[in-house]
Chain A
Amino acid sequence: MTLTAWRVELELEPSRKDPLGEAALQSLAARGFPLPGDLRVGRGYLLPGSLSRDQVEAVVERLLADPVNEVSRILAPEEADPHGAQTLLVRRMPGVSDPEAQTAARALALLEIPLPAGAPIETYRSYRCLSPVDAQAFLQHGGPALANLTIEEASLGSAPVHLHPTPSPRPSQRTEVPLRALDAAGLASLSAQMSLALTVEEMQAIQAWYQQAEREPTDVELETLAQTWSEHCKHKTLTGPVHFQQINASGEVVAERQYQNLLKETVFAATQKLSPDWCWSVFKDNAGVIAMTEEIGIAIKVETHNHPSALDPYGGAGTGIGGVIRDILGTGLGARPFASTDVFCVGPEDMEMDELPPGVMHPNRILEGVVAGVRDYGNRMGIPTVAGTVLRHPGYVANPLVFAGSLGEIPRACVDKAARPGDLIVAFGGRTGRDGIHGATFSSEALHEDSESVDAAAVQIGDPITEKKVLDVLIQARDRGLFTAVTDCGAGGFSSAVGEMGEEIGAEVDLEQAPLKYSGLSYWEIWISEAQERMVAAVDPKHLSNLQELCAIADVELTVLGTFAAHQRLILRWHGEVVADMPMEFLHGGVPQPCRQAVAPVPPQNSTAWPEQGDWASLLLQCLQHPSITSKEWVLRQYDHEVQGGTVVKPYQGANGHGPGDGTVVKPRLDLPQGVALGCGLAPRQAELDPYAATANAVDEAIRNVVAAGGNPHRTAILDNFCWGDCRKPDRFGSLVLAAEACRDAALAFGAPFVSGKDSLNNEYRVGEEEKAIPPTLLCTAMAIVEDCAQTVGTPLTKAGNLLLLVGLTDERGGASVAADLLQLDDSQVPRPNFDTAPALFACLHQAIREGLVAACHDLSEGGLAVAAAEMLIGNPQLGIQLDTSRLPQATELPLAARLYAETPSRFLVEVAPEDVESFASLFRCQAWASIGEITTSQTLEVLADGQSVFSLSAQELATANGVFA
């Protein structure tokens, strides 16, 4: 049936500048299709054709059009568009969520304009070219340039426009999948055909179980097993056995180790050994929880959302942040999110379009999309995105990485949860649709050039306002004790949420109860759909009406899906008929764990000495504009990083807001002095040379960040996120084993337990026969408790006459440093932290900050001492620095270049008032430190060596090179 529609487009008045039109022209020009003249972008709405013209005009005037600066174009159903041949319409594909259309429907009701049943509203965008254009060429180039063809479709305004019909129903009666008789090849092809992403060994384990049960599995049983056993949910690689070998250049095995469960014996083992009493929940819930005060804990989790973000950067990153926020909501009986973090790894800025592999978006478009996705989701949720970074490397061109983290506060009494038999299984929040079917299994597979077309269903669209409502109602319900357990619907949807909550007891679910976005979903789609913004709670029947009342006020939909039981089985019904019946033990414990092989080379040891001569001033300017160091203020300013009013050490600091901070400090509670310092570290460039050292450096950097801002190193918890290539390949897995070992050693050395983590393997990209892995990427996130937010410091210089002290030793290893990259040094020796000295040094610095001896502090990271000094000056360009490189602690033999640009970890540049130096010295009597400079009023950075000037650069030159705007 054809659903006719009114077309309404709102454009800015012709006299006003249209920034979106200009951006669209640029995108078209970038794809080799420059348009003559102007382009106007319109907000489009399709309204049901059954409305009268009066009604439509009322809607436009009272609801849609801005009274001052917009003009409307209204086209009646089937009316020809006079500008049709030069107008491109971009619409969502059928079945893709459209939250704004739902709001419009709600608003029409307020205007007392009833919508006819089954006639939805749709939103779209119009691009109207003001001068004549070759219509077919506009469509051909405009589609890929202006739409995301994974989830949107482009058409010309001249073509008839109809509302999308409701998606067609799929057959939904109990269906068995015969597999007992299949051979290995048959099992493999069944797994592929159903997109299960299960290996032959896993399919054989399933086959064996059904042979014993003397029946065939149903489709939904297989789907459930695929979700539960997926790499995404089960982390089979990291928790399975592995045989590790290290080989030297001539191929001889020089070291060999065996792990039964790599994660348990490295990362978890360190936590277990440390097990401080301030860790309240580690590695068992959706997030780790540590104590902030005796009554209040902080939950933290960092997730990745890589493959969806490659296909749809905006939606992928938005649902990434939405997903990790739900992890925090689903921790214990619910934590209240108060801060977010994000880290993006994308390809180089200057890639040509024709260098891109087929089906891959330009890195800049990906970056803009993911920033916008986090911005729009995080800002709408009202959770400040306060920390993170952007990293560029050619290895991420086809497989970008998107990390999103969330922190929440939780009362101590709410940390533990357990569903009880007899509790109702209650779903609340968004409705279930066909979105994100097979997301968990999809993220466990490599991307390929057809990913764009075949995996559209794996992309979810976020609706932050629905999630905000869920947050509001969940915290109220928690405080009234209305549920015994809660968790989020993440990968695997209801199947994982109910499966996890009922793992120890059993559960029965009536799938037809789930509220749907549209009719026609089959029962297995309902069960595994990854539609966003849904939570599942275990509710004592006596509390149900209270919870329903809360939800009604907050406009949150609530449904009883079933009951937790005591029979240790998972039973699914569809209109009364049992469509799945499996023991929890097999579902959660049945996955076979084959031993994998891992091989890593001994890190290369070649090293070219730092050059004796060079233009050190120009090298500093180049460092400041290097993609790793250039200012990311433009990203942070798009995030509401101060919402909730608790951001007390900001990501960009100083009177001008341009000084890059180390750790960010956020107060979760405005009425308490305590806060949380956040930092992160990652070093993929180093990891290509030496995965162990790179990982140790990433941990050092994350902890350095939080300590520099005032975080307590004795109350620091860390998180791991492993993003690796396909670890079925021994060379990929080899570097991961080394990284896991470095995590263990660093955690033990610093006394900083891992409290949560996540891995994303199979970050590979296939073009034809060639398979490429991303650089081994370990993101370490650190969170430290700040006992009193008044005892924190920033990075900008504060006062002329104060001294600059360098804390920590410098060595000459320059492998993978920014300067080595710029100077093209063939140095593969990566520096690494000294585990014997660094922890004590961090503790001394923390003590100095608490005693008020530190006026400003910046850690030394990429670009070394020279960049750290420059950044402190950029944060307060009214002052100046005179820096004497001859006074570095214990560095008599070091070449000047290494003094300035080496990236030895565990170092800080500290501003101290002259009258405080004595107290500082007595605190640091057993540490390596030296006074290496003074703060002046020269508005320049002057660098000396042996009493002679090496170079002098103005604060303005430094800021300009760093890409600081205004």
Chain B
Amino acid sequence: MKPRVLQLFTSGINCDRELRFAFETAGAEVQEMHISELIQQPQALESCDVFAIPGGFTYGDDLGAGRVLALEVERYLTAPLRAMHERGGTIFGVCNGFQVLVKTGLLPAIPGVQVSLTWNASHRFECRWTRLRVEEPMGHILPPGSILHAVSAHAEGQIVLQNPEQDVPTLLEAGVIALRYCNAEGTITETWPDCPSGSRGAIAGLISQSGRILGLMPHPERNLSALHLPDRGRGAWGQGNDGIAFFLGLLAPYQARVRS
């Protein structure tokens, strides 16, 4: 049996095709469900390994990116999601999906640290390739210190914190920072263009202490071949296999279960 992914759909989700393709290429079986169906049949979560929220502009990002979908998830899906996670399932969000996970409070869920995602420092939507350094807490998915190349394409991807000087070390210590923006030399940076949003702590992605709730702003599902890279695979952006490696790593626990 293949790893089973339940992919959420609702008004404004628009990165569903490429996310589904990436999961399937990495060996998963993907079921898509509209939130209105999932609210009617929350038991669908019982039989899945990964619950994924794709990117997009849910409900137009009106009232703040991911805000209204976060309310819906909180109100209708909190209990079944918690059960699914406790059973060993993974909750994954990319771009708008990550915004939803932060706004529901599922990430980073560290007491005393208030995290929000807001407008890029430039106050503009921006689409560009970025380099993300894999941090220790995500080491079970990709090698720590390696670089994941992915497309940033968002307007509200800036991590903001109440007290950045205290909160970044707290989050590092808590082991919830998964990915940080870096430059071509691999050095962490908060400055544009390597970090397009100006995110505090150069945070591009967060992971729960369980290691099974993961969200990131940039899109690994858009890096599936050398043809996708800006230099067409000449080395500055890897070889075009980062995206697949990422999804294989995400699905690995469920592949292993299948083999045993």
Contacts and interface: CB of A to CB of B under 8 A. Distances in A.
Given A67-B114, A382-B15, A642 B222 contact: yes
Contacts of B62: 99-100, 103-104
A790 B22 CA distance: 19
A209 to B, nearest CB: 46
B68 A642 contact: no
Nearest to A384: B127
A140 B224 CA distance: 54
B126 A638 contact: yes
Interface string A647-670: 110100111110000000000001
Interface in A56-115: 62-64, 66-69, 99-100, 103-104, 106-107, 110-111
Contacts of B9: 472
Contact of A464 (B13, B17, B60, B232): B60
B11 A375 contact: no
A465 B59 contact: yes
Interface stretch (B80-88, B115-123, B170-178): B115-123
A588 interface: no
Given A69-B116, A110-B72, A382-B56, A653 B160 contact: no
B256 interface: no
Interface string B209-251: 0000000000101101001101110101100000000000000
Interface centre among B22, B62, B114 (most CB of A within 10 A): B62
A221 to B, nearest CB: 38
Contact of A465 (B34, B57, B192, B230): B57
A465 B12 contact: yes
Contacts of A375: 125
A725 interface: no
Contacts of A64: 63
Given A68-B115, A110-B75, A63 B21 contact: no
Contacts, number: 156
B253 interface: no
A789 B71 contact: no
Nearest to A556: B11
A495 to B, nearest CB: 29
Contact of B60 (A99, A638, A655, A670): A99
A553 B32 CA distance: 13
Contact of A68 (B37, B127, B161, B234): B161
Contacts of B227: 648, 789-790, 792
B15 A642 contact: no
A20 B63 contact: no
B63 A657 contact: no
A301 interface: no
A640 interface: yes
Interface string A541-577: 0000000000001110000000000000000000000
A178 interface: no
Interface in A371-391: 375, 379-383
A469 interface: yes
A555 B36 contact: yes
A49 interface: no
Contact of B63 (A68, A103, A638): A103
B162 interface: yes
A671 interface: yes
Interface centre among A103, A381, A647 (most CB of B within 10 A): A103
B153 A642 contact: yes
Interface residues of A, number: 62
B140 interface: no
Nearest to A16: B160
A637 interface: yes
Nearest to A638: B125
B75 to A, nearest CB: 6
B108 to A, nearest CB: 13
B193 interface: yes
Contacts of A19: 119, 121-123
A468 interface: yes
B93 to A, nearest CB: 16
Given A20-B123, A468-B11, A639-B127, A648 B71 contact: no
Contact of A107 (B56, B71, B121): B71
5 contacts: A380-B60, A472-B9, A655-B230, A656-B230, A796-B231
Task: Please give me the 5 A-B residue pairs with the lowest Cβ-Cβ distance, nearest first.
Answer: A382-B14, A645-B18, A655-B236, A103-B62, A19-B123
Interface of B: 9, 11-15, 17-18, 21-22, 34, 36-37, 55-57, 59-64, 67-68, 71-72, 75, 114-116, 118-119, 121-129, 151, 153, 160-162, 192-193, 219, 221-222, 224, 227-228, 230-232, 234, 236-237
Interface of A: 17, 19-20, 23, 62-64, 66-69, 99-100, 103-104, 106-107, 110-111, 375, 379-383, 463-465, 468-469, 472, 553-555, 636-648, 650, 653-657, 670-671, 789-790, 792, 794, 796, 798, 966
Given A639-B127, A646-B18, 5 more contacts: A68-B114, A107-B63, A380-B14, A640-B127, A796-B231
